Amino acid sequence: MSGFRTRLVSLTRKEFRQLLRDRSNLAIGILLPMVLILIFGYGMSLDVKNAPVGVVLEDPSPTAHEAMAGLQLSPTIAPVLLGSMHDAEALMRERKIDGIVRVPSDFSRALAAGNAHVQLIVHGADAGRATIIQAYVSGALAQSAVRQADRGGGSTGADAPAAGRVTVEQRMWFNAANTSTWYLVPGLIVLIMTLVGAFLTALVMAREWERGTLEALFVTPVRPVEILLAKIIPYFAVGMLGLALCLLAARFLFAVPMYGSLLAVVLSSMLYLIVAVSLGLVISSVTRNQFLASQVALIVTFMPSMMLSGFLFDLRNVPTAVRVIGHVLPATYFMDLIKTLFLAGDVWPLIWRNCTVLVAYAVGLLLLARVVTRKSLD
Amino acid sequence: MIDFLLRVANLCKKELLAIFKDPASRVILFVPAIMQSLVFGYAATYDLSNVPYALLDQSRTGASSELIAHLDSTGVFHRVATLRTQADIREVIDTEKALLVIQIAPNFEQQLSAGQSAAIQLILDARNSNTAGSAAGYVSAVVERYNAELRARAGAPPAPLTIESRAWFNPNLETRWNLLPGLIAALSMLQTLLLTALSVAREREQGTFDQLLVTPMSPLEIMIGKALPPVLVGLAQSTLILLVALFWFGIPMAGSLVTLYTGLVFFTVASVGIGLSISAVSANMQQAMLYTFVLLMPMMLLSGLTTPVRNMPHVLQVITMANPLRFAIDLVQRVYLEGVGLATVWHNLIPLSIIAIVTLPLAAWLFRHRLV
């Protein structure tokens, strides 16, 4: 046992030295997390703010002006008054504006008669953004029209029969500020753990395989387990450093709340890091070639953990086949876990469920890594 | 001149052989591009198709079940639980059993029949604020339809204002329509950058680059010979994704292929220039890959693929000026969806050309004057 420890310690020390010697490792371990934190916190936002929308008032009456006044109140859109439909369409083609609201010349007369029409055209190139603008503009216009009609009488006046109306009071739990930063920053932890764990490990190990230095190590008295452990430990440390950076940034730079316990966040991140590192080990010993390992790691880690983990797109709304792929990826379970821990708190049934899956992945992948590594010795 | 072309052609041939000699890399360069565009094409949707909800109906009246019937008939909402008390709400939301809870107060029907407004409570799981926002929008739309019905039944005139809504360039507002054209540029960039960065780094690691340097070839010829094969691979990958978008997802292309490919050629050459510069400063393959990755991630995130560039703070918008992907995505999306010609998108070609004009000679110079 003491032989195990001495060998492990000296091997690990060697690996650490190797890691620190190469600037590119530090770039991916420290520089990349920092750059990503800044991009995710400041640069990426799915919220629509001050979207320019052209308003063409073909009816210059005060009624029409007042109906449009409702548009000015929110931070979602920024209405711009335009002279003609021709100008508006030209601006829209240049993507200078995201939408056009056209108020026809008979608007105030029609509103008094209770059948006014307003035309809304949105630029559909960014569908998500367009939908939000569409919903917002229709809501604001309908509200101000109802208010005006109620006040001004007309055919909706007091003599008309009253009809009940259902209104919706909505409450957003877990994200009161309703800002995408709150779920982008926790999601970042998943990306960084995946990158450092799976990508970096896969690359470094593939290099050893390609050069044959791993086989050279196998003929020394050290056992494969010791070699694997010594390889894992430094990258595990780099991953934890990335985690620390993310947590500090979430707390002090972006003020993302953490309702769950810090301990749960750290422990589950460590668990996922083990999964990611083992995945890297498996990829490298199956490919044994740096080019292939990097491509495979890229394809099974980076893009899917962004696109398929439920990070940006909700997995409930995708076709079954895609949902199955999403649920094969360990990143999906960690994403669910980390978002819940940050924004909802220690929801134990969820924590147990996701952690059990991650433990199963860790055990399975480590065993697999051990098996594919042993084969090489035969 | 003929010698020049011959030497370049020979080096290109050798490089292409090096790329395609290994069956595994033949597969890895093309199959994932197709698979990813298929999977992401399906995955990328902000439209809701399956919203599990829980109902807390404290009114239990004809009116409340009528409203809920409207909701159920959309096919989007599926009731997963019927709650009895307010205390049950936390559990279904916390454990993600339901995305939202609809709470209807006991006096719901009385208020409605008295001609007053009656509020329903909507509690949403906003762990993903995007999904929550869309779900709230869907519920509001259903409620508005129900209100219109109530008005009609009471004999009240319909709402005084109707809004006719139309979307240009993407009539059904599908997220897929703007994502897939973006992927034509983004997915091919992932692999062309790596491929290029590795091509010189590998030779350097194996020592064959020195042999290349002592041949009669000039640095310019070496650079062109090294740059052309990845450009071809990148364009082939883009073509595959374009075919998936056109024929699998049936997204109509409004613009011309000539404009699209002109843009893609500029873009791929610029990416290859970056890849070659990376490989010229890297001592070995591992460094080349890691540096590529350190550049690639921010380039993907700051490209406008997943979040619009206009939402970014000014400083980051300035940084995106050095990102070829940002210009390629703008160009491809606009040509594909809006059908604009070169006259409208030519401004994207300038930064792409500048990136290529800076990086390619830099790489050629670095080949000679090895820094590492």
**CATH number for the domain including B87?**
3.40.1710.10
Which residues in chain A touch residue B160, judged by CB atoms under 8 angstroms apart? 111, 114-116, 145-146, 148-149, 154, 156
Task: Report the pLDDT value the prediction gives residue A161, as an integer from 0 to 100.
Answer: 59
d(Cα A190, Cα A309) in Å, to the nearest integer?
10
Kind of pairing, strands B100-104 and B117-125? antiparallel
Closest alpha carbon to B104 in B47, B64, B143, B155: B64
Residue A94 three-state SS: coil
What percentage of chain B has pLDDT greater than the value 90? 44
Please check whether residue B238 lies inside any domain of the structure: yes
Task: Report the pLDDT value the prediction gives residue A176, as an integer from 0 to 100.
Answer: 65
- Are B319 and B251 in the same domain? yes
φ, ψ dihedrals at A139, nearest 5°: -60, -50
Residue B44 pLDDT exceeds 90? no
Place of tokens 């420290």: A30
d(Cα A110, Cα A58) in Å, to the nearest integer?
13
Q: What is the pLDDT of residues B5-16, one digit of tens each?
A: 898 899 899 989
Length of chain A: 378
Q: What is the pLDDT of residues A84-143, one digit of tens each?
A: 999 999 999 888 899 999 999 988 888 888 788 899 999 988 888 888 888 888 888 877
> Chain A interface, mutation test: which of B286, B331, B345, most A Cβ atoms within 10 Å?
B286
Task: Report the pLDDT value the prediction gives residue B58, as an integer from 0 to 100.
Answer: 93
> Chain A interface, mutation test: which of B31, B104, B290, most A Cβ atoms within 10 Å?
B290
Chains A, B: CB pairs < 8 Å: 368
Please check whether residue B163 lies inside any domain of the structure: no
- Are B40 and B55 in the same domain? no
Domain A51-151 carries which CATH code?
Answer: 3.40.1710.10
ipTM exceeds 0.85: no
- Are B17 and B69 in the same domain? no
- Are B108 and B234 in the same domain? no
- Are B137 and B285 in the same domain? no
| Residue B79 bridge partners (DSSP) | B53
Please check whether residue B169 lies inside any domain of the structure: no
Residues 41-70 of B with CB under 8 A from A: 42-52, 67
- Are B82 and B132 in the same domain? yes
Please check whether residue B209 lies inside any domain of the structure: yes
DSSP states of B98-139 as a string?
Answer: -SEEEEE-TTHHHHHHTT-EEEEEEEEETTSHHHHHHHHHHH
Task: Report the pLDDT value the prediction gives residue A151, as an integer from 0 to 100.
Answer: 63
Q: Give the residue from chain B lying closest to A109, CA to CA.
A: B160
| Residue A73 bridge partners (DSSP) | none
Residue B280 three-state SS: helix
pLDDT bracket for residue A152 (50, 70, 90)? low
Q: Which residue, B154, B182, B209, sits at the end of a domain?
A: B154
Helices (H), B155-284: 175-206, 208-213, 219-243, 257-281
Q: Is the CB of A310 less than 8 angstroms away from the CB of B128? A: yes
Q: Note whether B246 contacts A: Cβ–Cβ < 8 A.
A: no
Q: Give Cβ neighbours of residue B364 (< 8 Å, ≥ 6 apart).
A: B219, B220, B222, B223
Residue A314 pLDDT exceeds 50? yes
Which residues in chain B touch residue A168, judged by CB atoms under 8 angstroms apart? 119-120, 122, 136, 139-140, 143
Q: Note whether B154 contacts A: Cβ–Cβ < 8 A.
A: yes
Residue A154 pLDDT exceeds 50? no
- Are B19 and B139 in the same domain? no
- Are B62 and B206 in the same domain? no
Q: Note whether A157 contacts B: Cβ–Cβ < 8 A.
A: no
Q: What distances in angstroms separate CA B117 from CA A50, A209, B69, B150, B199, one per listed residue?
A: 31, 71, 19, 11, 69
Q: Give the residue from chain A lying closest to B287, CA to CA.
A: A24
Please check whether residue B165 lies inside any domain of the structure: no
Inter-residue contact A133 to A48 (CB < 8 Å): yes
Q: Note whether A160 contacts B: Cβ–Cβ < 8 A.
A: yes
Buried b (16+ CB within 10 A) or exposed e, A15-43: beeebeeeebbebbbeebbebbbebbbeb
Residue A200 pLDDT exceeds 90? no
Inter-residue contact B197 to B282 (CB < 8 Å): yes
The pair of three-digit structure tokens given for residue B342, joined into one six-digit string: 């070169």
- Are B137 and B200 in the same domain? no
Q: What is the pLDDT of residues A282-297, one digit of tens each?
A: 999 888 888 888 888 8
Residues A32-61 have a mean pLDDT of: 86
Q: Give Cβ neighbours of residue B166 (< 8 Å, ≥ 6 apart).
A: A119, A120, A121, A122
| Residue B168 bridge partners (DSSP) | A123
- Are B210 and B280 in the same domain? yes
Closest alpha carbon to B324 in B306, B298, B293: B298
d(Cα A238, Cα A18) in Å, to the nearest integer?
13
Q: Give the residue from chain A lying closest to B317, CA to CA.
A: A43
Task: Report the pLDDT value the prediction gives residue A157, as an integer from 0 to 100.
Answer: 45
Query: Taking phi first (over 0 means left), then psi (-120 to 50 degrees means alpha), and beta for anything else, what does residue B52 get?
Result: beta
Q: Is the CB of A307 less than 8 angstroms away from the CB of B146? A: no
Domain boundaries, chain A: 3-44+179-373, 51-151
Task: Report the pLDDT value the prediction gives residue A230, as an integer from 0 to 100.
Answer: 86
Task: Say how many domains are in chain B.
Answer: 2
Q: What is the DSSP letter of A198?
A: I
- Are B38 and B61 in the same domain? no
Amino acid type, A171: R
Length of chain B: 372
pLDDT bracket for residue B203 (50, 70, 90)? confident
> Chain A interface, mutation test: which of B31, B190, B289, most A Cβ atoms within 10 Å?
B289
Count of beta carbons in the 10 Å neighbourhood of residue A188: 24
What percentage of chain A has pLDDT greater than the value 90? 28
- Are B123 and B227 in the same domain? no
Kind of pairing, strands A51-57 and A99-103? parallel
The pair of three-digit structure tokens given for residue A135, joined into one six-digit string: 């919903």
Which residues in chain B touch residue A97, judged by CB atoms under 8 angstroms apart? none
- Domain range enclosing B136: 51-154
The pair of three-digit structure tokens given for residue B80, joined into one six-digit string: 């997963």
Identify the residue with better confidence: A315 or A100.
A100
Residue A276 pLDDT exceeds 90? yes
How far the first Cα of chain B sits from its last, in Å, is 32
Please check whether residue B182 lies inside any domain of the structure: yes
